[in-house]
């Protein structure tokens, strides 16, 4: 955790941003502890089925994010690993939200706010 604070903001952004849609949705879903399949269902639900994360993509993302310290495994039950977003993950997500907001803001101001 201390390493995160010492790490340059710019370096973190360069390394992790932009997140893929799958990574983004996995990270926000892990604001609550969930296991892989639980994340898949949650993302499917909140996006009305637009985003379906495949099992291979899910496993790969979870393994990589755990290794990178963006998420941590908090428990293991019935051969399922339960994950939660870490402090570092929250920092990355904050950067990403700011980036997306900027994108959205530019789009709206250039194209006109109304429909």
Partner 1 sequence: MKEVKTVWHWWWGWNTEKVENWLEEMEKNGWNLTKVDFAQIRFSFKKGKVRKMRYCWDYPTYPKDNYFELFKEDGWESMDNKMGPWFIWRKPYENERPRIYTDTRSLIEKNNRQIRTVIFGIIVTLVILSILSIGNFAGAKLISVLLILSLAFYGYIIVQLRQNNKKIKQDAIKC
**Binding stretches for partner 1 (CB under 8 A):** 20-22, 35-37, 40, 51-61, 63-64, 76, 78-81
Residue placing its CB nearer to partner 1 in the complex, 15 or 80: 80
Structure-token match 């390394």, residue found: 15
Pull the structure tokens for residue 93.
Answer: 């997500």
Q: Which is nearer to partner 1, 64 or 108 (CB)?
A: 64
Q: Which residue in 90, 53, 51, 99 sits closest to 71, CA to CA?
A: 90
Least Å distance between CB 51 and partner 1?
7
Smaller CB distance to partner 1: residue 4 or 33? 33
Q: Which helix (H) or strand (E) holds 84?
A: strand 80-85
């Amino acid at each position: 955790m201390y390493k995160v604070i010492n790490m340059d903001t710019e370096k973190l952004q360069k390394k992790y941003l932009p997140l893929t849609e799958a990574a983004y949705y996995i990270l926000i879903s892990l604001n609550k502890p969930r296991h892989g399949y639980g994340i898949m269902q949650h993302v499917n639900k909140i996006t009305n089925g637009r985003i379906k994360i495949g099992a291979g993509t899910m496993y790969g993302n979870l393994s990589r994010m755990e290794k990178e310290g963006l998420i941590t495994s908090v428990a293991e039950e019935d051969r399922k690993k339960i994950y939660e977003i870490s402090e570092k993950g929250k920092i990355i997500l904050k950067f990403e939200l700011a980036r997306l907001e900027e994108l959205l803001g530019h789009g709206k101001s250039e194209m006109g706010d109304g429909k």
